[in-house]
Amino acid sequence: MSIGRLVEMLAAEHLTAAQRAERLAADREVVRNVIGVDISDEEFERAPDVLGNIYEMAARKARAARAMRA
């Protein structure tokens, strides 16, 4: 397999900036519809990164559990 093919495969796994923006807009619209409240994009930007915080907590707990087994 050529390097060009590997780069092509890697690029296909990642969204473009336009695709990420489109997905973000769609996800925000779903949230607005589900909770029934019109939240502006600016309000979304100011909101805490809940999913990121959950990942951080899970990582800390996994590291602690791994340290206890070692």
Instruction: Tell me the whole-structure pTM to 2 decimals.
Output: 0.56
Each residue's pLDDT, cut to its tens digit, for the chain (70 residues) gives 899 998 888 888 888 899 999 999 999 999 999 999 899 999 989 988 888 888 899 999 999 999 998 7
Rounded CA-CA distance 20/25 in Å is 9
Interior angle at CA 22, CA 19 and CA 28, nearest 5: 140
Determine the structural domain holding residue 55 and report its residue range.
Answer: 3-69
Rounded CA-CA distance 41/21 in Å is 12
Please report the pLDDT score of residue 36 as a whole number. 93
Please report the pLDDT score of residue 29 as a whole number. 94
Give how many domains the chain has, as a whole number: 1
Q: Judge contact between 60 and 66, C-beta under 8 A.
A: no
